[in-house]
Amino acid sequence: MNSKKNVVTLLLPLALIACGGSESAPAKPATEAEAKPGHVEEGGHEEGALKLTPEQIKAVGVEIANAGAATIRETLPLYGSVAPNAERVREIGARFPGVIRSVNKKIGDTVKQGDTLATVESNESLQTYSVVASLPGVVTARNANPGEQTGEKALFTIADLSTVWVELSLFPRDVAKVRVGQNVRVKSADAGLSTDGELVYVAPFGSSANQTLTARVLVNNADRHWAPGLYVTADVTLAETVVPLAIRNEAVQNLEGRSVVFVKDDDGFEPKPIKVGRVDDENSEVLQGIKAGDAYVTRNSYILKAELGKGEAEHED
């Protein structure tokens, strides 16, 4: 509901200007320039063109880019989940059997390599020594309390989450398409996240439970956004093709059954019909309709479409 109110609020100044002001405003005599055929008052419409002031462009959040060459990716969509990088997980125990005298860290604490996790009094020498972190990371498990005997158990588990694995489910029919070293775009719709990683492993055997193989992606997680346990989708890049002319997908609008993009020229913003070729999750190849270098609306192009429709309806009335 709030998003709809925001759009209406932003469109209102455009509609008022397009109509020449409010209904109570007196009619203004046409100047010589305004009386000429093809003249469009700023904020108005003429043969499908929409003129906006710089203030209006800023108010509605319109962004502009130049059409040009881009890379179109052929991808294989997969799904899976985030897991700790098992090569960066350590279980830490006592060097010598003894009594735990103190515990310095708890589950969830961040530690540096060499930090003291606990102190232990050796049963044999009665000397106290430190149990230290063998790598930087987060304490994910603790099995140590003061007064307990250490035994042979692991006292702490530390996971370095600066990198994580994304474990993807790969169907047998797709095994021939993937190989170690391919780029993979990982996405979490729920968290609104997207990042690129590298395919580092394809299991040589499958799971009888779901009839899939595991494809593993190494992802940089320095910002800690990718928490183990999250479900994700991923697109494995199978091929990349550079096309001479492409635009952002968000720029394409459907107008009267045609794919159009709003191009900015001296007359304002005009919807230009285009023919689209290959498409990936970011860009659309343009086969005809615009040329390289044309300035076109990327973000919030749907607002111009809505405003153009309002203006045409008002002219018909």
pLDDT tens digits, 106-159: 999 999 999 999 999 999 999 999 999 999 999 999 999 999 999 889 999 999
For the segment 296-312, what is each residue's pLDDT rounded down to a tens digit? 999 888 888 887 766 55
Q: What's the pLDDT score for residue 208?
A: 82
Task: State phi, psi for 63 to the nearest 5 degrees.
Answer: -120, 145
Per DSSP, which regions of 150-230 are E strands?
A: 154-159, 163-170, 183-188, 193-202, 213-220
Assess whether pLDDT exceeds 60 at residue 15.
no
Residue whose C-alpha is closest to residue 76's, from 237, 185, 186: 237
| In-domain check, residue 303 | no
pLDDT at residue 10 in the model: 43
Q: Is residue 171 in some structural domain? A: yes
CATH number, domain of 138, equals: 2.40.50.100
Domain of residue 203: give its range: 66-84+161-257+274-293
How far apart are alpha carbons 42 and 23 in whole angstroms?
Answer: 18
Averaged pLDDT for residues 218-236: 95
Question: How many structural domains does the chain have?
Answer: 3
Identity of the residue numbered 64: I
Asked if residue 135 and residue 32 are part of one domain, the reply reads: no
**197 shares its domain with 71:** yes
Q: Which of 10-14, 184-188, 255-259, 276-280 has the lowest mean pLDDT?
A: 10-14
- Comparing CA positions, the residue from 122, 234, 246, 247 lying closest to residue 189 is 234
- For residues 90 and 150, membership in a common domain is answered with yes
* Final residue in a domain of this structure, among 159, 190, 224: 159
User: For residue 266, what pLDDT band results from cuts at 50, 70 and 90?
Assistant: confident
Say if 20 falls within a structural domain. Answer: yes
16: pLDDT strictly greater than 70: no
| 208, burial (CB in 10 Å: exposed 0-12, middle 13-18, buried 19+) | exposed
In a domain, 302, yes or no: no
Taking Cα atoms as reference points, which of 204, 107, 100, 90 lies closest to residue 144?
A: 100
Give yes or no: residues 133 and 169 share one domain: no
Judge whether 312 lies within some domain.
Answer: no
Q: Identify the DSSP state of 153.
A: S
Residue 309: per-residue pLDDT? 66
pTM recorded for the entire structure: 0.69
Is 165 in the same domain as 152?
no
- What is the average pLDDT score of the chain? 83
Q: What is the per-residue burial (b if ≥16 Cβ within 10 Å, else e) of 287-297?
A: eebbeeebebb
Query: 50: Cβ–Cβ under 8 A, 6 or more apart, which residues?
Result: 44, 262, 268, 269, 270, 304, 307, 308, 311
Q: What is the pLDDT of residue 79?
A: 96
**Do 47 and 124 reside in the same domain of the chain?**
no
Q: How far is CA 240 from CA 11, 66, 76, 195, 280, in A?
A: 39, 21, 12, 17, 10
Domain check: are 227 and 284 in the same one? yes
By mean pLDDT, which of 39-43, 45-49, 195-199 is the weakest? 39-43
* Strands across the sheet containing 89-93: 89-93, 154-159, 137-142, 110-111
Query: For residue 47, what is the DSSP state?
Result: T
Q: Which of 144, 159, 174 represents a domain boundary (last residue)? A: 159
Instruction: Calculate the alpha carbon distances from 97 to 41, 50, 112, 118 in Å.
Output: 87, 80, 24, 13
- The pLDDT tens digits for 169-199 are 999 999 999 999 999 999 998 888 999 999 9
Domain assignment present for residue 59? The answer is yes
Cβ count within 10 A of residue 195: 18
Q: Tell me what pLDDT residue 316 has.
A: 55
Does residue 169 sit in the same domain as residue 248? yes
Provide the pLDDT for residue 39. Answer: 37
* 248, 226 Cβ separation under 8 angstroms: no
Same domain, 96 and 56: no
pLDDT-based confidence at residue 265 (cuts at 50, 70, 90): confident
173 plus 151 within the same structural domain: no
Token couple for 79: 């799904």
Is residue 304, in this structure, part of any structural domain at all? no
Domain harbouring 173, CATH code: 2.40.30.170
**Chain-centroid distance, C-alpha 3:** 20
Same-domain pairing of 1 and 147: no
Task: Specify if 266 maps to a domain.
Answer: no
CA triplet 212, 215, 221: central angle to 5 degrees?
135
> Which among 132, 159, 186 is the end of a domain?
159
Residues 240 and 92 in one domain: no
Percent pLDDT > 90 in the chain is 63
pLDDT at 227 over 70: yes
